[in-house]
Amino acid sequence: SQTIHQWPATLVQPVGSPLSLECTVEGTSNPNLYWYRQAAGRGLQLLFYSVGIGQISSEVPQNLSASRPQDRQFILSSKKLLLSDSGFYLCAWSRDTNTGELFFGEGSRLTVL
């Protein structure tokens, strides 16, 4: 069966510090991978998606970047965090691009102080 793991689960970082959130998927190959952010208002916003190694599409301009160094690994990064980067970050994968059946990780809660 397929599983998705995110870490760290919780992170408190000062403004201006770097960020690295990692997500890995097991039990499937060539998944489509996504990073979503859930801000305090609860709505989810798509940040990045990837259909293959090294292929990253950004949905919104921001202070964050994403990379996919391996087939089942997706990393969310920032060189210098802003207060507005605080939120709940969710990684997800899907089998194909035709349906919105996403499988989400447990999330990483980032607080920037």
Partner 1 sequence: GEDVEQSLFLSVREGDSSVINCTYTDSSSTYLYWYKQEPGAGLQLLTYIFSNMDMKQDQRLTVLLNKKDKHLSLRIADTQTGDSAIYFCAESINNQGGKLIFGQGTELSVKP
Q: Which residues bind partner 1 (CB under 8 A)?
A: 32, 34, 41-44, 46, 49, 59, 90, 92, 94, 96-107
* Cα→Cα distances 18→11, 15, 51, Å: 12, 9, 26
Q: Is 53 or 102 the residue whose CB approaches partner 1 more closely?
A: 102
CB of 79 to partner 1, least distance (A): 26
What's 72's DSSP letter? T
Q: Which residues pair with 52 in a beta bridge?
A: 55
Q: Is 14 or 41 the residue whose CB approaches partner 1 more closely?
A: 41
Length of the chain: 113
